Amino acid sequence: MMRLAGVRNALRLIWRNKAARFGLIVILAYAVMAAVGPILLPYKPVSIPNPSEILLPPQPWPPSRWLGTDMLGQGILVDIVNGAPFVLEVSFLAGLFTTVIGLVVGLVAGYLGKAVDAVLMWVTDVLMTIPSLLLVIIIATMIKTENPFILAGILSITGWTGLARAVRSQVLALRNMPYIEAARVLGLRTSYIIFREIMPPLMPYIWINLILNIEGAIYAAVGLYYLGLLPFKSYDWGAMINYALQLGAVYGTNAVWYLAFPVLFISLYMVALMELAYGIEEIVNPRVRR
């Protein structure tokens, strides 16, 4: 009951903050679109496109053409809603993997210290020196996977290092606090001390990093599909941008709609994530709130 009350209180604080409320509403809307959109507007492969239906501007009817049509005559809205589940799933998983790995490494290294700390920080420093974008491109090109879990793992392969170092620094400052010393004297388990005594003060920072990691993962996933480094379908958001540019969208052709709407949906989602992160920071940090 206490945990449930804590969750309700956190949601109440988020809802009262304008930035966080906007971000939360938009993110929930995207989640609903990804869950329901492919059912309402299923993607139907086109074998032979009709030239008269290619790259049309937005039309009032049917609903699938509210945003115009793509290079195959398929509604851009159909492409958007069918591409949303994979992009959102990969970005969430990558953000989650990055945050969990960084959190665990930072907690263990900071609390145990000594040899464990030295080894974990050595591994972290080595990974931090490797150009992450180049490493992700090489691995993604070699594997060419469509599995969201594998792709999320690739995207998070080095992204956790900064969080791990930050969490370690916080733990080093917290582990010598009087209440932590009292917990050790009472003989409480190490896992209990780490997850029940040290971790709660770090949760606001962790939540913000989770949101920012999701944002970075979306950019990376869309970028890999845009570059053609992964097997993609015509409704992948990165592939849509790639096709639109090839069709001369930047030169004012009808392909401009094919470019504008994927960019708009990606940008709106990024803004929502940033607003949610800023709102959470404003709630938990009195200095920002003032």
**How many angstroms separate the CA atoms of 130 and 102, rounded?**
17
Give the integer Cα–Cα distance in Å for 123 and 127: 6
3-state secondary structure at position 271 = helix
The per-residue pLDDT of the chain, averaged, comes to 82
Percent of the chain at pLDDT exceeding 70: 91
Beta carbons of 198 and 171 less than 8 angstroms apart: yes
Bridge partners (DSSP) of residue 75 are 69
Tens digits of per-residue pLDDT, 193-242?
887 888 878 887 888 888 888 988 888 888 888 887 877 777 788 888 88
Cα(285)–Cα(290) distance, integer angstroms: 9
Instruction: Confirm or reject CATH 1.10.3720.10 for domain 29-42+50-289, answering yes or no.
Output: yes
13-71 pLDDT, tens digit each: 777 778 888 888 999 999 999 999 888 888 887 767 677 778 788 888 888 888 888 88
Position 2 scores a pLDDT of 43
Q: Helix 76-112 crosses helix 161-174 at what angle (to 10 degrees)?
A: 40
276: which 2 tokens? Answer: 């949610």
Q: 75 — phi, psi (to 5°)?
A: -60, 135
- Res. 288: pLDDT tops 60: no
Distances, alpha carbon 84 to alpha carbons 211, 220, 236, in Å: 17, 15, 8
- Quickly count: other Cβ atoms within 10 Å of residue 62's Cβ: 10
Q: Are the beta carbons of 171 and 193 closer than 8 angstroms?
A: no
Q: Does residue 1 surpass a pLDDT of 80?
A: no
On the question of a cis peptide bond just before residue 49, with omega within 30 degrees of 0, the verdict is no
| Residue bearing the bigger pLDDT, 185 or 252 | 185
